[in-house]
Structure 1
Amino acid sequence: MVAIKIGKHITAVLERGREEARAEGAGTVEAAHLLLALAAGENAAACRALAGAGLDHEAVRAALRREFEHSLRAVGVTDLTRQLPPPSPAPRRPAQIGASAKLAIERGVRAAARAEFLPAHLLVGIVRAEAGTVPRALRLAGIDPADIERRVAAELGAEPAR
């Protein structure tokens, strides 16, 4: 097994993801929270790749909101004319990493391919998801995950790998 270095930049993204999760009252940190953390951006490569695809923090939040509304409609909640109350922040940041975030991290580590695991690799791991909230949100926003992956590769000076 190859040891992957998890540096301060990934740690910062995880901490920001915890803050995003806490702000919405979530009990775990999921891939959507990590995507919001990357879009809020301290990491230039990941931020530029997202911005090039038209996604800043607010655009990611709007896409996730559209996905939530779409999911509500899918289960029969059709009266969305009333404003939903804002989420109540959790009293503290969740310590648990949820399944979608764990899978995104695993895919990101594979994308790093023995190099230092960077936030841009984590972004690749997030957009490579085939099912879940993030891929549905990206589809509804008209965003091609492969385009984001190509942008990350360009930022890192590498060919996108599958």
Structure 2
Amino acid sequence: MPKTQAADAARPIVIRSITEAADRHDRSVEAEHLLLAILHDPKLPAARTFAASGLTTGWWQRALAEERRETLSSVGITTVDDSRLQSTPSGKRPAWGASGREALKRASQHAVDRGRRHRMDDIDIALGVLDAPLGTIARVAARHGLEVGTLAARLRAA
């Protein structure tokens, strides 16, 4: 990411997403970690927009845990205590997973579309996360009937 003022605005989100993944002992940084990183800072316009829609950090954490249980259930794994689902800490920094990389690519395109080439901010990253047609965030949105288009319009207006 080129060093610009807006790139500096995205950098803490990227760094926090790595921390989110590491704190959960996940081996890769995915789109949900980017989303949780945005929500971690309630001063960000995207975080305020999510919260105004009732989509707080707590809501997303519960919805993501529910999604994980549902996914396991779909392959025949019965209810398991969440503490047993954590990986053993590896001591290594998590690598970037496919959904995280793709969300950042979409975020970069949103920045261009919004007239700010190479200057992503929290809104762009949130839009990049929400635009995923597949994956964990898309499944959570579908399961809970989230109007992603409406939420995206609110983010663009923030």
TM-score by length of 1: 0.83
The alignment status of 1:97 with 2:102, answered yes or no, reads no
1:146 to 2:140 alignment: no
Instruction: Summarize the alignment of residues 6-155 of structure 1 with structure 2, pairs less than 5 Å apart.
Output: 7-41=7-41, 43-77=43-77, 79-80=78-79, 83-85=81-83, 87=86, 90-92=89-91, 94-113=93-112, 114-115=115-116, 116-155=119-158
Shift of 1:27: 1.1
DSSP 3-state at the match of 2:83: coil
Identity over aligned pairs, percent: 25
Do the aligned residues in 2 keep the contact of 1:18 with 1:93 (CA within 8 Å)? no
User: Counterparts of 1:143 and 1:107 in 2: how far apart (Å)?
Assistant: 20
Q: CA RMSD in A?
A: 2.1
Return the structure number with greater helix share.
2
Across the two proteins, how many residue pairs are aligned to each other? 151
Question: Does the CA contact (< 8 Å) of 1:23 and 1:88 recur in 2?
Answer: no
Structure 1 moving runs of 4+ over 4 Å: 3-6
Q: Which residue of 2 aligns with 1:158?
A: none
Provide, for residues 12-46 of structure 1, a one-character-per-residue CA deviation record: whole Å limited to 9, x for no partner: 00111111101111111110111111111255211
Residues 94-132 of structure 1 show CA distances to partners (whole Å, capped at 9, x for unaligned) of: 252211011101111111124131111010000000000
In structure 1, list runs of 5 or more residues that go unmatched. Answer: 156-162
What's the offset of the Cα at 1:55? 1.1
Structure 2 alignment gaps of length 5 or more: none
Amino acid at match of 2:148: P
